[in-house]
Amino acid sequence: MKMTKTARRNRIKKRVRRKINGNADQPRLTIYRSNKGISCQLIDDVTNTTVVAASSKEKGFNAEGTKSDQAKEIGKLIAERAKAKNIESVVFDRSGYLYHGRIKALAEGAREGGLKF
Enter the DSSP assignment of 17.
H
pTM of this structure: 0.90
Taking Cα atoms as reference points, which of 34, 60, 52 lies closest to residue 110? Answer: 52
Taking Cα atoms as reference points, which of 6, 7, 46 lies closest to residue 28? Answer: 46
Q: Give the span between the Cα atoms of 68 and 18, in whole angstroms.
A: 28
pLDDT of the residue at 63: 76
Query: What is the total count of domains within the chain?
Result: 1
Q: In CATH, what number is assigned to the domain containing residue 46?
A: 3.30.420.100
pLDDT of the residue at 60: 84
User: What is the Cα 117 distance to its own chain's centre?
Assistant: 12
Q: What is the pLDDT of residues 39-96, one digit of tens each?
A: 999 999 999 999 999 999 998 888 788 999 999 999 999 999 999 999 999 999 999 9
Range of the domain at 72: 5-113
